[in-house]
Amino acid sequence: MYNNLANTKFTGKSIHFLPSCHSTNTEAGLLIRSKMAVNGLIVITNEQTAGRGQQGNSWHSEPQANLTFSLILYPEHLPIADSFYLNIVASLAIAKTLRHFLPEKKISVKWPNDIYIEDKKVCGILIENSLRGELVSSIVMGIGLNVNQTSFQLPAATSMMLECGQGFSLQQVLEHLGESIEAYYLMLIADNKEKLLVLYLESLYAFNTLHAYQDTEGDFMGYIRNVEHNGTIVIEKESGKISRYQFKEVRFR
């Protein structure tokens, strides 16, 4: 069980706890459609048996070791064109939380919204929106954060515990993360998008650093020069060519 968050205005004031479920994003969507979800409701579980990631990928998490939850939000006026900022909000909040608990570690956001400790993935994000005309009517912000898990099938995965050798209270991590999400979300609602984008670029993995990538033309070396408001990544190849990519059009090597 989890306690309601004490130091927020609306985030986590209501918590819907499930000992086990297929996917908290799926459960959150059902609550929205049945009109049973208030703004800021967190759907959280100890065991997610069919967690979903970006583009249909799966997200595996050890039961009772990590944070697997979805946050429901109802923005009053958020244009569809600003949807990528929800990824920025979640990414910045998770990065801030990790820096709080792991101050000695390098935390970065790997475009578009994977969170890394050094060169290993510690968190995944899946945001699903419902639309009303040109506006976002509801948001399901799904987060899977590896906290106390100590073994993974993938060598590029890690957890907070693996990185520092000690366990963490899931409640305490959730409280800090909920507060951080709310703070950045309120910046978005207040139309402070430019500041959010600057903070995102400051946290971006391999930003302005020579790195290996692959696109439809093959492998290449290049520099991330920008991420645009719609989430498009801008990479300057070693040849000097400037290329723009949407999600899944380029991959890190």
Is residue 240 located within the same domain as residue 128? no
Residue 220 to residue 244: CA distance in whole angstroms: 14
Is residue 231 located within the same domain as residue 130? no
Is residue 33 located within the same domain as residue 158? yes
159 Cα distance to chain centroid: 15
Is residue 127 located within the same domain as residue 244? no
Q: What is the pLDDT of residue 52?
A: 54
Does some domain include residue 8? Answer: no
The CATH number linked to 198 is 3.30.930.10
Instruction: State the residue range of the domain holding 217.
Output: 211-252
pLDDT digits (tens, 9 = 90+) for 30-52: 999 999 999 999 999 999 887 55
Does some domain include residue 53? Answer: yes
Question: What does the mean pLDDT of the chain come to?
Answer: 94
Residue 127 to residue 17: CA distance in whole angstroms: 19
Domain total of the chain: 2
Residue 14 to residue 190: CA distance in whole angstroms: 23
pTM for the full model? 0.94
Does some domain include residue 47? Answer: yes
Tokens 């290449």 map to which residue?
A: 220
The CATH number linked to 217 is 2.30.30.100
Beta bridge partners of 89: none
pLDDT digits (tens, 9 = 90+) for 62-90: 889 999 999 999 999 999 999 999 999 99
Q: Which among 146, 148, 149, 150 has a CA at the least distance from the CA of 121?
A: 146
Does some domain include residue 24? Answer: yes
Is residue 78 located within the same domain as residue 160? yes
CB burial of residue 157 (10 Å; 0-12, 13-18, 19+): middle
